[in-house]
A and B are shown apart, each in its own frame.
Chain A
Amino acid sequence: MTFEYSSAPESKAIVKLDPVYKLYIGGKFVAPKSGKTFATINPATEEVLAKVGYAEKADVDKAVKAAQAGLKIWSKMAPSERGKYLYRIARIMQERAREFAVLETMDNGKPIRETRDIDIPLAAAHFFYHAGWADKLEHAGVGSNPKPYGVVGQIIPWNFPLLMLAWKIAPALATGNTVVLKPAETTPLTAMLFAQVCEQAELPAGVVNIVTGDGATGAAIVNHPDISKIAFTGSTDVGKLIARSVAGTNKGLTLELGGKGANIVFEDAPIDETVEGIVNGIFFNQGHVCCAGSRLLVQENIQDEVLEKLKRRMAQIRMGDPLDKNTDIGAINSKEQLKKITELANSGDEEGAMRFSPSCTIPGKGFWFPPTIFTGVTQAHRIASEEIFGPVLSVISFRTPQEAIEKANNTPFGLSAGIWTDKGSRILWTAKHLRAGVIWANTFNKFDPASPFGGYKESGWGREGGRHGLSAYLKGAK
C-alpha cells in the first residue's frame, strides 16, 4: 500500500455547453452574417466542446456600430452608476466562479487548481477594483478633465482567457469606453459565458460586444476607422504589425507582448522557497505566460545545489487531467503551440544544451509537454533568447551581480524578472538595474488588479492594472 493522491476530478456537471455559440453584439446573441462557425476543442482530450461563430468584417462593423450606440448611454451615465454595473459583474462572476473555472479548464487545458484559485478570482477582483475607479477618474493622473477614447477594440490571448478579458474590459468600462472584444480562437468559451454575465447584470446593450474569430477578425478590429483605441495582448510579432497598422491614425494603442524573463538566484537565496519560485515561474500555466521566468540565472557557486533541489522538486510535479484537483501541469493549449515548443526544445538538444525532464506519463490523447529544464545553456542558444511559451526552462550561470544584470538585460524583451536573495540592499540594486516592467523579489508570477503590469522594450506599450493601467483608457492634456 502506498500513499497516493486521488484522481479527484472536478465535476463537469456545473457547465452547460451550448452546441453553438453566437456572437454577442448590441446586447443580443446573433449569428455571424456568413453563418460560418469554427470548433473549439478541449486540448486535454481533443474532443470538440462547441461550435463558435466566426466573425468577419461585416460582423465587426455591426459590433462597432453597437458599441457606438452603447457609448451614447455609457459615457453619459453618472460615473457612480457605471461603477455599480461593474460591481454587479464582479459579484455575478464570483457567484458563478466554479462554472467559469471548470469551463476555462476544459477550453484551455490549464489545471483546475489554477482556474479555481487564480484566474477566476483575479478576474472578478479586476472588476471590483475598477468599479471603484469609475467615479474617481479625475485622480487617475491625466489631468482634471479626463475623457474616454470612445469605442475600444480589444484582442486577447488564449493563455488566461477570462483573466485577460477582465484586464481589458474592466478598465475600459470604468473609464466610460465601450468595447468590441475578440477572444482567442482556441479559447472563446469563457468570454461567451461572460456575455451571459453581462446580460444578468443588465448591462446596457452595446457596452460590451464580443466577436469570436481568428486573426482576420482581429485585423478587422485593428483597421476599423471608428475604433479609437486598440488594446492587444499577444505575441511581439503581431504587436508590431498592429503598431504599423495604426501608424498615422489617431488610434491609441497599448500592447502587452512577449517576454523572456530572467529569474536571478543569488548565493544567499532562501533555497527552498527559491525552488518553489523557479517552479512557479516556469511551470505555472504550462509556461504559457508572457512573464514566465524562462531563463534561470543562477550564481555559479550554488548552481549544483539549486539544480539538485529543482530536479527533485520537478519529480513531484503532477501532469495530467486538468480537471483533477491534484494536477499541477495540464495540457498544452493547442497542437500548433505544442509543435512550436517541441521544435524549440529540440533546438536546445541540437545546440548542445542538456535536457532534463522527470519521468511522467503522457496521456494518450491531447497535447502534452513534460516540465523540462536545459542546463549548460549560453546566451547564444535559441532557447536562451526566443520565447518558448511552454514549460521549458533555460539555466544559465553567472559569477557576479554585474554579470547577472548584463545577461538578464541582454534581450529585446523587458517584461518581468525575478530576484532571489536574503539581502535587502542587493534586491533594490538589482531591481534598479533590471530593464523590466515587473520585478518579483523573493516571489514570482504574482498578479493583482492594483499592481501595474507591462513591459519595457519590445514587451509592450503601457501598463495594465493599477492607476497606471487605468490611465491608458483616458485621454488627458498632453
Chain B
Amino acid sequence: MALTDGSLPSIKGFLRTLSPVDQVGADARAAMLATRSIKTASKRWAIDMAISMIDLTTLEGADTEGKVKAICNKAIRPDPTDPTVPHVGAICVYNDMVSIARKHLDASGGHDIPVAAVSTAFPSGRASLEVKERDTKDAIANGATEIDMVIDRGAFLSGDLEKVYSEIVFIKSLCEGKAHLKVILETGELVTYDNVRKASFLAMAAGADFIKTSTGKVSPAATAPVVLVMLEAVRDFYQMTGQRIGVKPAGGIRTTKDAIKQLVLVKETAGEEWLNPELFRIGASALLNDLLMQRKKLTSGHYEGPNYVTLD
C-alpha cells in the first residue's frame, strides 16, 4: 500500500501525520551522543567501517580525467602500504566523469566499487524535467549504478510537494533495476528540522533508496542533528513499512572523530542494522586521509603526519 497517491492533498495529509521536531531538543540529543567514548578495539573496527562507507567524492568544475583516475586508485587501495585497508563504498563524480571512473575502476581491480553520479542538474536542480531525465539516463548509460539526485527545494519551500514527489518517482522509474537512487534534500536550504523530517518522508514515500543530506555546495551541510533527524526518519519509516532506507550525510565530515560520531548516531538512532555500507554512506573526500592516519596510529602507537598518507 502506497503511503500517498502523489496528489497534493494526499501528500499533505501524509506529512501531517508526522510528529514535529523540536530543534533545541534534537540539538541536545546530538550533542549528548557526541560525548560517547569508543573502545580502542571498536575504534579500529569503526575506522574500517567508515572507510568502507565513504562515497569518495570529487565534484569540482576543475575535475579532470587525471583527477578522477587518481581518486579511483585511492578508492581501490586507500593505503598502498597496507592491503588490509578496505576499499571505499563508491566513487562519486559529475555525469561526464562517470565513464572515465567506471573504466578506470574496472581496469584497476575496482570492479566491485560502484560509481555514483550526481544527477538532475546538480547541485541546484534548476532545469526542466527533460534535462533531468537526460542527465540521469546518460549517467546510467555510462555505467553509474548509483544516482544522487537533488530535490527541487524551491518547489518544496513554495509548497509544491506534488512536483517534488513526482520528480523523485520519475527519476526512480529511470533507475529501476539499474541503479540505486539517493535523494539529496539539501538540508541547508530547507533550514528547519521539521522540513528535514518532512522531506525525508516525502523522498522515502516516493521511492528513494537513500536519503542524503547535502550537495556539499551549501553550508551548513551534514550537521549531527540533521543526520539524527534523518536517521529517526528512516527508523520510523521502517516501523511503518518494513523497508530499510539508507542515509548518506555529505559535506563537513572531515575527521575520524566526526565519522565516529556519525556511527554513534547511527547505532543509537536507527540501530546496528544500519551500520553497513548498504544503509549508511558518508560523502567525503578529505575524511579518508584522516581515517588512514588514525588507523596507522592505532597500529604504530604514535601520531602520524600528513606526508605519510597519499594526497589524492
The reply to whether chain A is a binding partner of chain B is: yes
Q: Which residues of A contact B (CB under 8 A)?
A: 1-8, 113, 117, 268-274, 276-277, 316, 325-326, 422, 442-443
Tell me if B26 counts as interface (CB < 8 A to partner A).
Answer: yes
Contacts of A273 in B (CB 8 A): 21-22, 25-26, 29
B38–A6 CB distance below 8 A: yes
Contacts of B21 in A (CB 8 A): 270, 272-273
How many B residues have CB within 8 A of the partner chain?
Answer: 26
State in angstroms the CA–CA spacing of A1 and B41 once bound together.
Answer: 9
Partner of B42 from the list A3, A117, A443 (CB cut-off 8 Å) is: A3
State in angstroms the CA–CA spacing of A120 and B29 once bound together.
Answer: 21
Partner of B19 from the list A2, A4, A270, A276 (CB cut-off 8 Å) is: A270
B37–A6 CB distance below 8 A: yes
Closest to B26 in A: A273
Tell me if B155 counts as interface (CB < 8 A to partner A).
Answer: no
Partner of A268 from the list B20, B24, B232 (CB cut-off 8 Å) is: B20
Chosen A-B contacts, 22 in total, with CB atoms closer than 8 Å, are A1-B45, A2-B45, A3-B45, A3-B263, A5-B37, A5-B38, A6-B39, A7-B39, A8-B37, A270-B19, A270-B22, A272-B21, A272-B232, A273-B26, A273-B29, A276-B28, A277-B25, A316-B268, A326-B37, A442-B22, A442-B24, A442-B25
Contacts of A443 in B (CB 8 A): 22, 24-25
Tell me if B300 counts as interface (CB < 8 A to partner A).
Answer: no
Closest to B266 in A: A3
A269–B24 CB distance below 8 A: no
Contacts of A8 in B (CB 8 A): 37
Partner of A325 from the list B19, B22, B37 (CB cut-off 8 Å) is: B37
Nearest Cβ on chain B to A369's Cβ, whole angstroms = 22
Nearest Cβ on chain B to A54's Cβ, whole angstroms = 39
A6–B25 CB distance below 8 A: no
Contacts of B29 in A (CB 8 A): 272-273, 276
**Chain B's interface: helix, strand, loop or mixed, by majority?**
helix
The 9 closest A-B pairs by CB, nearest first: A273-B25, A6-B39, A8-B37, A271-B19, A273-B22, A270-B22, A422-B20, A1-B45, A270-B20
A3–B272 CB distance below 8 A: yes
**Which of chain B's residues 12-47 have a Cβ closer than 8 Å to chain A?**
19-22, 24-26, 28-29, 35-42, 45-46
Partner of A270 from the list B25, B28, B36, B38 (CB cut-off 8 Å) is: B25
Nearest Cβ on chain B to A343's Cβ, whole angstroms = 32
Closest to A113 in B: B35
A272–B26 CB distance below 8 A: yes
Closest to B33 in A: A316
> Total A-B residue pairs with C-beta atoms closer than 8 Å?
71
Tell me if B221 counts as interface (CB < 8 A to partner A).
Answer: no
Contacts of B49 in A (CB 8 A): 3
Tell me if B275 counts as interface (CB < 8 A to partner A).
Answer: yes
Partner of A3 from the list B24, B40, B46 (CB cut-off 8 Å) is: B46
Contacts of A276 in B (CB 8 A): 25, 28-29
State in angstroms the CA–CA spacing of A326 and B263 once bound together.
Answer: 15
A6–B42 CB distance below 8 A: yes
- Given A6-B42, A270-B19, A316-B268, are A326 and B36 neighbors across the interface (CB < 8 Å)? yes
Closest to B271 in A: A312
State in angstroms the CA–CA spacing of A316 and B263 once bound together.
Answer: 15
Contacts of A3 in B (CB 8 A): 38, 42, 45-46, 49, 263, 267, 272, 275
Closest to B233 in A: A272
State in angstroms the CA–CA spacing of A443 and B49 once bound together.
Answer: 35
B42–A4 CB distance below 8 A: yes
Closest to B31 in A: A117
Contacts of B37 in A (CB 8 A): 5-6, 8, 325-326
State in angstroms the CA–CA spacing of A261 and B22 once bound together.
Answer: 22
**Which of chain B's residues 157-202 have a Cβ closer than 8 Å to chain A?**
none
Closest to B25 in A: A273
**Which of chain B's residues 216-247 have a Cβ closer than 8 Å to chain A?**
232
A272–B19 CB distance below 8 A: yes
Contacts of A325 in B (CB 8 A): 35, 37
Nearest Cβ on chain B to A315's Cβ, whole angstroms = 10
Nearest Cβ on chain A to B96's Cβ, whole angstroms = 38
Contacts of A7 in B (CB 8 A): 39
State in angstroms the CA–CA spacing of A349 and B57 once bound together.
Answer: 57
13 extra interface residue pairs, beta carbon distance < 8 Å, beyond A3-B38, A269-B19, A270-B25 = A1-B42, A3-B263, A4-B41, A4-B42, A6-B38, A7-B39, A117-B35, A272-B25, A273-B26, A273-B29, A274-B25, A316-B268, A443-B22
Nearest Cβ on chain B to A304's Cβ, whole angstroms = 12
State in angstroms the CA–CA spacing of A443 and B23 once bound together.
Answer: 11
Closest to A306 in B: B19
State in angstroms the CA–CA spacing of A269 and B21 once bound together.
Answer: 8
Contacts of B275 in A (CB 8 A): 3
Closest to B29 in A: A276
Contacts of B42 in A (CB 8 A): 1-6
B39–A4 CB distance below 8 A: yes
State in angstroms the CA–CA spacing of A4 and B38 once bound together.
Answer: 6
The residue in A3, A117, A325, A326 that gathers the most chain B C-beta atoms within 10 A of its C-beta is A3
State in angstroms the CA–CA spacing of A269 and B18 once bound together.
Answer: 10
Closest to B40 in A: A6
State in angstroms the CA–CA spacing of A272 and B268 once bound together.
Answer: 13
Contacts of B26 in A (CB 8 A): 272-273
B35–A2 CB distance below 8 A: no
Contacts of B232 in A (CB 8 A): 272
State in angstroms the CA–CA spacing of A113 and B34 once bound together.
Answer: 12
Closest to A267 in B: B19
**Which of chain B's residues 261-302 have a Cβ closer than 8 Å to chain A?**
263, 267-268, 272, 275
Nearest Cβ on chain B to A327's Cβ, whole angstroms = 10
Contacts of A268 in B (CB 8 A): 19-20
Contacts of A270 in B (CB 8 A): 19-22, 25
State in angstroms the CA–CA spacing of A2 and B42 once bound together.
Answer: 7
Contacts of A326 in B (CB 8 A): 36-37
Nearest Cβ on chain B to A75's Cβ, whole angstroms = 42
Nearest Cβ on chain A to B36's Cβ, whole angstroms = 6
Closest to A318 in B: B36
Contacts of B41 in A (CB 8 A): 1, 4
State in angstroms the CA–CA spacing of A270 and B22 once bound together.
Answer: 6
State in angstroms the CA–CA spacing of A187 and B24 once bound together.
Answer: 33
Closest to A316 in B: B268
State in angstroms the CA–CA spacing of A4 and B45 once bound together.
Answer: 10
Nearest Cβ on chain B to A418's Cβ, whole angstroms = 12
